[in-house]
Amino acid sequence: MQDRTLKRIFILAGIALILWVLYLLKPVVLPFVGAFLVAYLFSPLVDKLHKIGLPRWLSISAVFIGIGVVITLAFWYLVPLVWEQLMYAKNSIPSGIHWANYKFLPWLSDSFNLVPMELDVDQISAAIMEYVQTNYSADSIQAMIAKLAQSGLNFIQIGGTVVLIPIIAFYFLLDWDRMLDSFRRLIPRRYEEQTLVIVKECHSVLGAFVKGQFLVMVLLGVVYAMGLQLIGLEVGLIIGMVAGLCSIIPYLGFAVGIIAAVIASLFQFGIDWMQLLLVGVVFMIGQAVEGYILQPFLLGDKIGLSPVAVVFAVLAGAQLGGILGMLIALPVAAVIVVLLRHAREFYENSPMYSTSTYVVQDSSAGSITIETDQVDVDIELKNQAVKAQQASENSSKIDQIDHKEL
């Protein structure tokens, strides 16, 4: 018993040491983690191409080339549209300031009995320059330049990581089956079957989430963009795209989109209550489409998280990992739900949870007594040959068996 406890302590200490070393090597480990996730996402597509007769290296190359072509075409089509709407937004700033000074701020001061005020562009620019000259001396400028240089180095490092991830992912996919088999062989034999069942369930949940959430994000962005364009909002396309991208984090796309659309509508149409109502209708329709059509058909109930659990997971992810934590909060929470469900089943099947049953066999009397927490049953044996055989035995035997084996 003591040896087993020491063995477990050494194993836990070894795992903690490995995790600590990986944390120290985080800049080196992150590209490999990202490459593994990319390989995991695209391995089903590579396997399908490989099954139709293509060599594995050619299947991987075809998948990567296809992804590159799709991204290039998307940028080729969307960048001019986004640039056009950004230029419109830039040219609308003077008219927006004029509207704020002569319509919005007077209406605000009259409605709530506030002191009248107006936005003065020259005064705002002078205040910004004065703040910069006061708070940023020569030393501060040098420190800022150093920070910018460090940011440039960090940007180069990020660029190198982005280039390195597809290369590592290519080699991961090339040896994907052998790598998974190596991981499987590390599992102790007596736990292998149950572990593989849990891994398959986690894989099913993650696959459903990734594919479903990506399609929900794209289609919801299309719904928002088309709706805002139809009601006449000039920057509706870019707002809809941003809202769709942000919807990968639950409720964030709706919040960002409706706030941006209301501000853009005020700048373009002024205080037009009908236009603001139409903006609200567009986002209500988007939420209805997401809740009643997209999520039930694309995600279903495979994630297994209630709305309260979703909000908690997103907030916990934001607290622990910032934006990245919010992005991975839901898939991690779904995997935790699978693990907790299996932990509950293991507990319910354990002797700690189930009731015990005692079987007392009295050979001299030719009877069997069954005792549990709820019942106490005596069984008398009628077969005389059996009684005679049992009478030759000198001791009774008490066996404790699990309740589920009866």
DSSP characters over 97-137: HHHIIIIIHHHHHHHHTPPP----HHHHHHHHHHHHHHH--
Q: Would you call 290 exposed, middle or buried from its count of C-beta atoms within 10 A (0-12, 13-18, 19+)?
A: buried
Distances, alpha carbon 139 to alpha carbons 53, 130, 147, 150, in Å? 65, 17, 12, 16
Task: Looking at 270-348, list the stretches that DSSP marks H as alpha helix, in order from N- to C-terminal side.
Answer: 273-289, 307-348
Tokens of 25: 């090597």
**Of the candidates 234, 206, 230, the residue with the CA atom closest to the CA atom of residue 286:** 230
Strands 376-380 and 397-402: unpaired
Element (H, E) at 85: helix 56-91
Q: At 71, which amino acid appears?
A: I
Tokens of 167: 């290369």
- Categorise residue 311: left if φ over 0, alpha if ψ from -120 to 50, beta otherwise: alpha
Distance CA 204, CA 22 (A): 28
Tokens of 360: 């007392």
The gap between the terminal CA atoms of the chain, to the nearest Å, is 30
pTM: 0.62
pLDDT of res. 399: 46
Q: Would you call 213 exposed, middle or buried from its count of C-beta atoms within 10 A (0-12, 13-18, 19+)?
A: buried
Residue whose structure tokens are 């991975």:
328
Distance CA 96, CA 99 (A): 5
pLDDT of res. 156: 61
Compute the Cα dihedral for 185, 190, 195, 197 and give only its sign.
Answer: positive
Tokens of 86: 């950004």
CB atoms closer than 10 angstroms to residue 289: 17
CB atoms closer than 10 angstroms to residue 331: 18
Contacts of 149 (CB under 8 A, 6+ apart): none
Q: In what order do the strands lie in the sheet with 397-402?
A: 376-380, 367-371, 356-362, 397-402
C-alpha triplet 10, 15, 21: angle, nearest 5°: 125
Asked whether 87 and 79 are in contact (CB, 8 A), the reply is: no
pLDDT of res. 359: 56
Asked whether 106 and 118 are in contact (CB, 8 A), the reply is: no
What residues pair up with 9 in beta bridges, in sequence order?
Answer: none
**Of the candidates 223, 218, 216, the residue with the CA atom closest to the CA atom of residue 286:** 223
Distance CA 304, CA 333 (A): 9
Give me the tens of pLDDT residue by residue for the chain, a chain 406 residues long: 556 677 778 878 888 888 888 778 877 787 888 888 888 888 888 888 888 888 988 999 999 999 889 888 888 887 787 777 677 767 777 777 777 777 777 777 777 777 777 766 677 777 777 766 666 554 555 565 566 555 555 656 666 777 888 898 999 988 888 888 888 888 888 878 888 888 888 888 887 777 778 888 888 888 898 988 888 887 788 888 888 888 887 778 888 889 988 888 877 777 778 888 988 899 999 888 887 877 777 665 656 677 777 778 878 888 877 777 777 888 888 888 888 888 888 877 776 766 555 555 555 655 666 655 555 666 665 554 444 555 554 444 444 444 444 3
